[in-house]
Structure 1
Amino acid sequence: MKERHFYSSKIKSLILLIISCVFTFGLSYIDFKDENIFIIGILSLGITLFSFGILYSILLLVRTEPLLTVTDKQIIVYNVLRKPTFIRFDEVILFFIVDMRHCGIKTSSYICVIMNQPKKNPNVLDKVSTTVFPQLKGIRYSIQTDISNVKAKVLLELLNSRIRPYSLLDMENKF
């Protein structure tokens, strides 16, 4: 099979840019003279966060390399500001979709990856989260599908079709 590349959605990035610009410029034109220090701090935080939203959406708009590459042997997740993450299919048990919701409205969608082996050197957050939520023990990676140009269910079917040969090989080795 050949490699499949998934790029960022330029329309979603443009919408993010427009919304961030409107809020940043709208918040910057508010008169701070009569406000107390708490309101000034909150407005300054809002301006800062929406300014980072402008930078992030510009990075997504001018990006030419894919956000995700699926090969026969591995998944390569290219992060915008970090090094790529490599996930080998022979180390994966299963993939599943998680939808984040707020007040019943879906806000984002992720594909979580359950691995054969847990993390070698877990940090404090990993130790606490597996103690509080033991069902999260094997989840080491998640792939955000909102900013890519693919539906989560289509990508899930593709990923599950790639791990099936490895799971069949593993079953033969057990017998």
Structure 2
Amino acid sequence: MSAFFSISFIFYDLGNKKIFSVIISYLAFILFTFGWIFALFLLFRRKPLLTITDDQIIIYNILTKSKIINFKDISSFYVSTNSFRGIKTTEQINIILKTSAKKSPSIHKKNKISWLFLSIEESIQTDILNVRTKDLLKILNHRISKNKN
């Protein structure tokens, strides 16, 4: 889609258009060209986006360096989904580290209920992986229980 819009922009005549239309067209061209290049980058990528070993998880980000998380440092996992008007847009597995679970505030404080906020250190984007979220969560929970023993 992005390639189609980028190529059609080249042949579109902006000579007699208003300045607002020209600016919006150029911004759309830049956005679609970036999307096209990003899609090609993902298509020809050879490194995996996620590696799970017996001792650690290695999350390879697309544009930044990889992050290594040891299973002994992980407290738990949970799945979160983002949706827009009832349509699921993204799904990710969030990782709660043991250090962030210790720092969390207490639930009861001066007869007021405060929310339990855990800081999420890392997350695994499951939308771009070739695995179901539930299956990956089962594997990760199995590795945590195996590592605790």
Pairwise TM-score range, normalised by the shorter structure: 0.7 to 0.9
Q: Does the residue aligned with 2:79 lie in a helix, a strand or coil? A: strand
Runs of 5+ unmatched residues, structure 2:
101-114
Q: Counterpart in 1 of 2:109?
A: none
RMSD: 2.0
Higher helix share: 1
Q: Is structure 2 residue 126 aligned with structure 1 residue 151?
A: no
Give CA deviations for 1:89-142 in whole Å, capped at 9, x if unaligned: 111111111112112111121111111224xxxxxxxxxxxxxxx755420111
Residue 172 (structure 1) aligns with: none
* Partners of 1:91 and 1:39 in 2: CA distance: 52
The CA distance in 2 between the partners of 1:32 and 1:73, in whole Å, is: 58
TM-score, length-normalised on structure 1? 0.68
Question: Which residue identity is paired with 1:89?
Answer: F
Question: What secondary structure sits across from 1:113 in the alignment?
Answer: strand
**1:37, distance to aligned residue in structure 2 (A):** 2.9
How is 1:128-147 mapped onto 2 (pairs within 5 angstroms)? 137-147=118-128
Instruction: Give the corresponding residue for 2:84.
Output: 102
Number of aligned residues: 135
Residue identity matched to 1:153:
K
What's the CA shift for 1:29?
Answer: 3.6
- SS of 1:83 mapped into structure 2: coil
> Does residue 24 of the first structure (1) align with residue 23 of the second (2)?
no
CA deviation map 1:17-63 (0-9, x unaligned):
xx221222234443323433333222222211211111111111111
Structure 1: any 5+ residue segments left out of the alignment?
1-18, 119-133, 170-175
Q: Which has the higher contact order (CA 8 A, sep 6+)?
A: 1
Q: Percent identity?
A: 39
